Structure 1
């Protein structure tokens, strides 16, 4: 199972750190995890640097040595979320199947991520809001942008493979970026509603573990991505992905009742 904050870009070479640098890095990670717990309990607007100092036992001066503001903490958490997603997307890409099967695997990964790490899932969006961006450090905003670009590069592979294999033909007015955005919009909206709007009558009437898949299939069928959902059992593909490459995560979710 993936661990929050454990992903390392394979193209990066970690420079050797001194004991002091290692201690600072460990404290930095500790603060991120504590901040994540506070946000989970009290929400983004309930999170403050005072609460982080109190929960961690470090002085506010020490906290500000790591982060410029509470918004800067949120951007930092978002960076870690994007890296964790990249780790899961790479696993999805390795799934053995057709190009559209791999996109199903991608959406299984995103669904699992949203359920295992609801704070990280929402943090990626929250960190892009103006009230966060304007109070965050330029350095961390740049790190976030680089992490997002890395994620987009991985997503590009799924589409380019489909085009190369002639499972997908781009319309003259379309682009891979447009297709990535369409899939993200549907997947994010579906997962956000399923996770946070449980009292909705619409969601109450569905109660179907494949709700996200239905919505994804509408988008992919609309793109004429072959094979169409009328010709292939993508529920079976979804289950296979859960039972193979994400077996540990799926078992853990069942264990904790999510």
Structure 2
């Protein structure tokens, strides 16, 4: 490698290291003080860089938040890959993908809250076009991974060939259901705390109804509670080596 190339590579590494340190600092501040309290000056101070250096990496607070959410999205790929690569039926793999998302929510709840905030118009609309493009590109591998399950299901005959929905549209249903339940379950006061319902178990029940509606084989008797518990436990242990109790996210603290 030439001297010029070596210098360029070193500068690129230095830039990447500074950026990661700034993102780490922002993540730490969000975990400690909350998302809405984040300030660029505090990020600069926490990361040990001047505020001007921070703005060379991130033109705005919105760019910083979108970039942080993009990094968090990339961190999710490994668990989704595990779900898709698992040697199970295609219908079970769809459940495994939902469980992967729940596991991430349990271990890193602030990532979900950040993603919800980032997709609002006030942040997404104010972020730079390049930053938005990188965020969208980071999410495509996850979408493609999940779509391969639907493609495989159709090839195996698990998903009827007459289904008019594209693989992307088929997998969008479980995604929308999961995001919607996260919103309900993780917002204080939206669900009655006195009900005996487990919101995420209800989510998996609804998933089975949806897959039955697609005609996705083998059809499942959703009214059989014991069979549903057995299915959840089997996929949880086979793919992630843990029980349902260690996957389902806990509810938020009750409002006073």
> What is the TM-score normalised by the length of structure 2?
0.81
Q: Is the 8 A contact 1:95 1:102 kept in 2?
A: yes
Q: Which moved more, 1:84-93 or 1:48-57?
A: 48-57
Match of 2:229 among 230, 235, 241: 235
Give 1:245's aligned residue.
Answer: 239
Deviates more, 1:71-80 or 1:172-181: 172-181
What is the CA distance between 1:137 and its match in structure 2?
2.3
1:55 pairs with 2:55: no
Alignment-derived partner of residue 64 in structure 1? 55
1:116 aligns with 2:112: no
Q: Whole-Å Cα distance in 2 between the matches of residues 176 and 202 of structure 1?
A: 37
Structure 1 residues 212, 257: closer, same or farther in 2, change over 3 A? closer
Please give the alpha-carbon distance, in whole angstroms, between the structure 2 residues aligned to 1:202 and 1:171. 42
Preserved CA contact (<8 Å) 1:71 1:132: yes
With 245-254 and 202-211 compared, the bigger mean Cα shift is at 245-254
In the alignment, structure 1 residue 160 sits paired with structure 2 residue 151: yes
Question: For residues 39 and 249 of structure 1, do their structure 2 counterparts lie closer, same or farther at Cα, with a shift above 3 Å needed?
Answer: farther
* CA distance in structure 2 between the aligned counterparts of 1:83 and 1:45, rounded to whole angstroms: 23
Residue 64 of structure 2 is aligned with which of 60, 70, 73? 73
CA offsets, 1:131-166, max 9 Å, x none?
A: 212322222211111112222111110111111111
CA-based RMSD? 3.1
Query: Could you tell which deviates more after superposition, 136-145 or 42-51?
Result: 42-51
CA spacing shift, 1:170–1:131, aligned 2, 3 Å: farther
Counterpart among 130, 144, 148 of residue 121 in structure 2? 130
Q: CA contact under 8 A between 2:83 and 2:100: conserved in structure 1?
A: yes
Structure 2: gaps spanning 5 or more residues: none
1:9-52 residue CA offsets vs partner (Å, 9 max, x unmatched): xxxxxx98733332321221121122122223444332221221
Map residues 134-153 of structure 1 onto 2, 5 A cutoff: 134-153=125-144
How many aligned residue pairs are there? Answer: 243
Q: Map 1:1-258 to 2 at 5 A.
A: 18-169=9-160, 173-197=164-188, 200-201=191-192, 204-207=195-198, 210-230=201-221, 233-247=227-241
Could you say if the C-alpha distance between residues 172 and 217 of structure 1 is closer, same or farther in structure 2, counting changes exceeding 3 Å? closer
Query: For residues 193 and 106 of structure 2, what CA distance do their matches in structure 1 show?
Result: 20
| Higher Rg | 2
Three-state SS of the structure 1 residue aligned to 2:37 is coil
Tell me the TM-score normalized by structure 1.
Answer: 0.81
